[in-house]
Amino acid sequence: MTFLFLGAGIVSCSQQKSELQQPNIIYILADDAGYADIEPFGSKTNNRTPNLNRMAAEGMKLTSHYAAPVSSPARAKLMTGSYAHRVGLSTGSYAWVLRPGDSHGLNPDEITVAEILKNAGYVTGCFGKWHLGDQPDFMPNNHGFDEYFGIPYSNNHWPLHANVDHPRLPLMHNNEIAGEVKTMYDQAELCRLEVEAAIDFITKNKDTTFFAYIPHVFPHFPSRARKQFMDSAKTVLQAQIEELDWAAGQIFETLRELGLDKNTLVIWASDNGGDIGRESSNEPLRGGKRMTWEGGIRTPAIAWWPGKIPAGSVSDEITTIMDMLPTFARLAGTEPPKDRQPRRSSLHSL
């Protein structure tokens, strides 16, 4: 039996399209997690990731998965299925990435993966760091997400930044300010808040079909995790990676408790390579974040869907963050937009 997932293994070729039931889709995106920062990809820095280990044992490691050198372009590629240059988001207006108050962001005329899935009957939610523009037209609720909770730009874009005068860092619920990140202890709570909001969304929508996008803040600097992780780790980076693993475990536990695990596709990946200035590991790749060497753009990625993705499998085929839009569209029983040129995944051949 031949399997395909972005060219390497999601759905059996022997299945007819009419037999495919719309799966729930959860896409978890770490921020600055290096290629070898998690155990399934060979962590040598004692980062303990038992939940991601289990995810890989029950699913597929994508060992040649590509994103972008920095945050905003990666997210633009994910949302649109297109190169960031095409949608005008290869950089911000005056920096590598979009900064608070930037006059441009994700164009409201773009068709996002959330809009495609919403039109296919999905309930859609985003929980974490958006970073595709903080003006109202650019925010998640204007791009197909029914619910949003998180920060609108990067967590280092706040008043405590040493070299740049940034405004306050708000916590948003939909289009309203629900709180503010003021201290390093507030930073430490972000991973927990993101996953709790996502679990609430999943639980509320357990009887429908949903798309949950969870773009975590961790392990991006400024760096702190919650006390129980800081106390048991040798470095802050290790504490943040291990809290990310805990967060993934909370998602999987929820899916199993609700009986959703057999009809839910979960993908865990990173937006770019690890920041080598923070001792993140991209071994055996060269370079890291902000670089176009492999260590900057090739990231760890794991796909999990019991009964659909072969357990313990590994694919070395090239995949990219742009493959998500056409793949998810296909699984939802629809197609990518025809009036633009998103990157096509090999799932179109099913």
Does 334 map to a domain? yes
CA-based end-to-end distance of the chain = 14
- Strands 123-129 and 210-215, by their bridges, are parallel
d(CA 141, CA 124): 10
| Residues 110, 79 contacting (CB under 8 angstroms) | yes
Please, what is the average pLDDT of the chain? 90
Does 8 map to a domain? no
* 1 pLDDT above the threshold of 60: no
What is the pLDDT, as a whole number, of residue 16? Answer: 41
176 CB-near residues (< 8 Å, 6+ apart): none
* 272 pLDDT above the threshold of 70: yes
Does 16 map to a domain? no
* 263 pLDDT above the threshold of 60: yes
Does 21 map to a domain? no
Does 267 map to a domain? yes
**Alpha-carbon dihedral of residues 51, 53, 56, 58, nearest 10 degrees?**
-70
Does 7 map to a domain? no
Q: Which residue has the higher pLDDT, 220 or 345?
A: 220
pLDDT tens digit string along 24-78?
Answer: 999 999 999 999 999 999 987 789 999 999 999 999 999 999 999 999 999 999 9
Dihedral pair phi/psi, residue 266, rounded to 5°: -120, 130
Does 10 map to a domain? no
What is the pLDDT, as a whole number, of residue 93? Answer: 87
CATH number at residue 155: 3.40.720.10
Dihedral pair phi/psi, residue 123, rounded to 5°: -90, 135
The candidate with the shortest Cα–Cα distance to 219, out of 266, 171, 273, is 273
What is the pLDDT, as a whole number, of residue 9? Answer: 52
Reported pTM: 0.93
**Count: domains in the chain:** 1
What is the pLDDT, as a whole number, of residue 342? Answer: 52
The candidate with the shortest Cα–Cα distance to 233, out of 222, 219, 220, is 219
- Buried/exposed code over 34-47 (b: 16+ C-beta within 10 A; e: otherwise): bbbbbbbbebebeb
Structural domain including 344 reads 26-349
Does 298 map to a domain? yes
